[in-house]
């Protein structure tokens, strides 16, 4: 088994993400603070944040997206392309992701997008 560089940092990022998600509905300021800590931990240790976590953190205010609580998610069709669009309730920033043509899933979630799985 191969050891992963920065395993304790990944655990901390996961923990901070869970706290940020819990605080999203109660206190947007705390959610933003924990989201900011997630980014800072990853930058300090030169780690890539998992796409699922990165996708659900606002780029402007760093608040965690929770559908119907801290953000609004919409599925849109634009020029025969499907988009998943998140609008942050705190700062109003919009994040859009391209969906697969046949299914309502992101390209990164398709099996051919995975190059290597580290156990």
- Which tokens sit at 109? 């979630």
pLDDT at 100 (0 to 100): 72
> Taking 60 as the threshold, does the pLDDT of residue 83 lie above it?
yes
Residue pair 87/72 in contact by the 8 Å Cβ criterion: yes
pTM equals 0.78
Total residues found in the chain within this entry:
119
Give strand pairing partners of 64: 57
Least confident stretch, 69-73, 96-100, 114-118:
114-118
Please, which pLDDT band fits residue 30 given cuts at 50, 70 and 90? very high
């Amino acid at each position: 088994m191969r050891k992963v560089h920065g395993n304790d940092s990944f655990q901390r990022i996961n923990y901070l993400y869970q706290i940020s998600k819990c605080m999203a509905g109660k206190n947007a300021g705390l959610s933003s603070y924990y989201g900011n800590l997630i980014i800072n931990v990853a930058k300090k240790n030169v780690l890539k944040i998992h796409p699922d976590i990165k996708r659900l953190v606002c780029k402007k205010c760093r608040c965690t997206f929770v559908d119907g609580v801290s953000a609004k998610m919409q599925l849109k069709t634009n020029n025969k392309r499907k988009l998943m669009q998140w609008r942050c309730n705190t700062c109003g920033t919009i994040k859009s992701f391209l969906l697969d043509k046949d299914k309502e899933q992101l390209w990164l979630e398709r099996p051919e997008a995975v190059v290597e799985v580290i156990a």
